[in-house]
């Protein structure tokens, strides 16, 4: 009996771009939403929009964590966002060093691109101070949000770190993904959207979280 059997699956809806979608995610039972500050992303939010979403969510669902997503931003850029936007956790998608991730005194998630040959044990040791590690699909040019899954057989089953599964998850495959990997949590972005990137479909959000938590 592994530990994850005893608690509901931690679910994050990433790439939220509106107050409506943030509240819908919380209503559906999400433990966290992701606000994307990466300029090249289709789901990028301005500091003003992020502040609106973050403030509305903190009143509406104080237990739903607000996670800010950064990709190779400078220390100054991250600090500028933190000054204006209340964030509970930082998520680093780029080449950020463990030292950089720790600079802000905010819990952080480090994203790892999974592909054969990744030395997970070494990375896990380097980022021992992370709140969690998020395992996503490797893509040579895109920083996440590709809608593609990685080979779940690469999952480090013996890890003691909190591990979050991401990459190509949908309401259709999340249950079998969890069954194969037994993660601490799951993270979805494109898998709960219709045709427009950054706009969540409420029904898909509900179905995804229900499937994830029913495993």
Torsion (CA) 75, 76, 82, 85 in degrees, nearest 10: -130
Distance CA 108, CA 132 (A): 7
- Alpha helices, DSSP H only, in 115-184? 120-126, 174-181
Distance CA 150, CA 115 (A): 7
Radius of gyration of the CA atoms of the chain, in A: 16
SS3 content of the chain, % helix, strand, coil (to 5): 35, 20, 45
Distance, CA of 164 to chain centre: 7
Torsion (CA) 181, 185, 188, 192 in degrees, nearest 10: 100
Catalytic residue numbers, as ranges: 14, 136
**Non-local CB neighbours of 134 within 8 Å, separated by 6+ positions:** 91, 109, 110, 111, 112, 163, 164, 165, 166, 187
Helix, strand, or coil (residue 192): helix
Phi, psi (deg, nearest 5) at residue 76: -60, -40
């Amino acid at each position: 009996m592994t530990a994850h059997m005893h608690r509901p699956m931690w679910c994050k809806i990433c790439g939220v771009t509106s107050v409506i979608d943030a509240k819908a995610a919380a209503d559906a039972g999400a433990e966290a939403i992701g606000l994307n500050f990466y300029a090249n992303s289709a789901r990028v939010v301005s500091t003003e929009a992020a502040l609106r979403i973050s403030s509305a969510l903190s009143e509406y669902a104080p237990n739903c964590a607000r996670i800010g997503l950064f990709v190779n931003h400078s220390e100054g850029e991250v600090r500028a966002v933190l000054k204006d936007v209340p964030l509970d956790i930082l998520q680093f998608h780029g080449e950020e060093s463990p030292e950089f991730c720790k600079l802000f005194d905010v819990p952080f998630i480090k994203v790892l691109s999974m592909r054969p040959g990744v030395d997970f044990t070494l990375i896990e040791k380097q980022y021992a101070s992370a709140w969690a590690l998020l395992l996503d699909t490797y893509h040579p040019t895109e920083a996440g949000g590709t809608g593609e899954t990685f080979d779940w057989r690469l999952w480090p089953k013996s890890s003691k770190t909190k591990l979050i599964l991401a990459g190509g998850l949908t309401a259709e495959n999340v249950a079998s993904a969890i069954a194969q990997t037994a993660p601490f949590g799951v993270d979805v972005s494109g898998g709960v959207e219709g045709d427009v990137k950054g706009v969540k479909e409420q029904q898909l959000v509900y179905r995804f979280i229900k499937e994830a938590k029913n495993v």
